[in-house]
């Protein structure tokens, strides 16, 4: 196990959170840290371009959600509420009272859940390629069908089908390495973790009614060609959260932070600078 004393660069630190061991990277210094929550079914490495962009001026933390990357699953039943509790427990363990937190896709679901229950722990929110809506009946059925197929046949077909929806056409044409890397990430993730999290996603609650209760400054980012959580879903977030702004990124799908790194980083950096200049 890697320990803080072993790590000079601040990468690959392990910490016990509840019944799981969470692996995280921790770079830089600043009074208010920035925490990144990855999407499903990925890991903290998907935030590498943002970590590299911000680490010289800020304390930047990216962690693997339980069951993903190098974090263990633990024995508790997976749920968005559990993942949100893990976030708060993780912040407590690192003695972080308040943070800027950025979540993409499932990371956004986790962030909305946590921000509703623990608003005092967040300086501002960044919600990327995500939504407040629960699964439709058809969507739930599709997830449970995927679980059955994964249990019977493994992750091959699931990874192939997932990748087809994650990226816009431009990414498929111009960044085949990114597509290949994400495909490999899915294939090397624990099938049991994917199945457990598919169930958690299918059973997540509707957070649209709580948007009006969020008073935190919020940046919403969405790829213009995101077919999983399209711009219309981002508009619902922007309308519901009174102190929010929306950035649509051209030629990007569901992984806008990886498909258009410069545009994403510009929007994120501008928002963080604006946030910190309030003090």
Task: Give the confidence band of 247 by pLDDT, cuts at 50, 70, 90.
Answer: very high
Average pLDDT over residues 201-224: 98
Average pLDDT over residues 166-191: 98
pLDDT at 11: 79
pLDDT at 7: 36
Average pLDDT over residues 107-124: 98
Phi then psi for residue 77, to 5 deg, are -65, 130
pLDDT at 24: 98
Cα 32 from Cα 228, distance rounded (Å): 32
pLDDT at 276: 85
pLDDT more than 90, % of the chain: 94
SS (H, E, C) the chain: CCCCCCCCCCCCEEEEECCEEEEEEEECCCCCCEEEECCCCCCHHHHHHHHHHHCCCCCEEEECCCCCCCCCCCCCCCCHHHHHHHHHHHHHHCCCCCEEEEEECHHHHHHHHHHHHCHHHEEEEEEECCCCCCCCHHHHHHHHHHHHHHHHHCCHHHHHHHHHHHCCHHHHHHCHHHHHHHHHHHHCCCHHHHHHHHHHHHCCCCCHHHHHHCCCCEEEEEECCCCCCCHHHHHHHHHHCCCEEEEEECCCCCCHHHHCHHHHHHHHHHHHHHHHCCC
Task: Give the confidence band of 158 by pLDDT, cuts at 50, 70, 90.
Answer: very high
pLDDT at 242: 96
Each residue of 22-52: pLDDT tens digit? 999 999 999 999 999 999 999 999 999 999 9
pLDDT reading at 106 higher than 50: yes
pLDDT reading at 3 higher than 70: no
Task: Give the confidence band of 4 by pLDDT, cuts at 50, 70, 90.
Answer: very low
pLDDT reading at 8 higher than 50: no
pLDDT reading at 174 higher than 90: yes
* Average pLDDT value for the chain: 95
Which has more confidence, 11 or 196?
196
pLDDT at 2: 31
Average pLDDT over residues 233-261: 98
pLDDT reading at 254 higher than 60: yes
CATH fold, domain 13-135+205-276, is Rossmann fold (3.40.50)
pLDDT at 127: 99
Average pLDDT over residues 188-192: 97
Strands 20-27 and 60-63 turn out to be antiparallel
pLDDT reading at 279 higher than 70: no
């Amino acid at each position: 196990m890697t320990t803080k004393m072993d790590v000079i660069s601040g990468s690959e630190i392990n910490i016990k959170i509840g019944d799981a061991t969470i692996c995280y990277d921790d770079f830089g210094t600043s009074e208010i840290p920035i925490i990144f929550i990855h999407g499903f079914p990925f890991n903290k490495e998907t935030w590498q371009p943002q970590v590299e962009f911000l680490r010289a001026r800020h304390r930047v933390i990216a962690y693997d959600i339980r069951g993903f990357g190098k974090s263990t699953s633990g024995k508790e039943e997976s749920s968005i509420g559990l993942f949100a509790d893990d976030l708060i427990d993780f912040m407590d363990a690192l003695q972080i009272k308040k943070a800027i937190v950025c979540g993409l896709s499932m990371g956004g679901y986790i962030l909305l859940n946590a921000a509703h229950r623990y608003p005092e722990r967040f300086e501002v929110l960044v919600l990327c390629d995500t939504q407040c809506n629960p699964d439709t009946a058809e969507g739930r059925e599709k997830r449970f069908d995927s679980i059955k197929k994964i249990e019977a046949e493994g992750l091959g077909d699931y990874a192939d089908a997932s990748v087809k929806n994650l990226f816009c056409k431009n990414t498929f044409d111009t960044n085949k390495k990114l597509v290949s890397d994400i495909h490999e990430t899915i294939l090397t993730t624990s099938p049991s973790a994917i199945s457990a999290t598919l169930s958690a996603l299918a059973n997540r609650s509707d957070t649209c009614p709580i948007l009006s209760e969020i008073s935190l400054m919020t940046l919403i980012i969405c790829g213009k060609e995101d077919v999983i959580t399209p711009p219309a879903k981002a508009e619902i977030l922007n309308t519901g959260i009174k102190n929010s702004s929306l950035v649509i990124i051209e030629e990007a799908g569901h992984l806008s932070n990886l498909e258009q790194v410069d545009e994403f980083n510009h929007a994120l950096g501008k928002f963080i600078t604006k946030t910190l200049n309030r003090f």
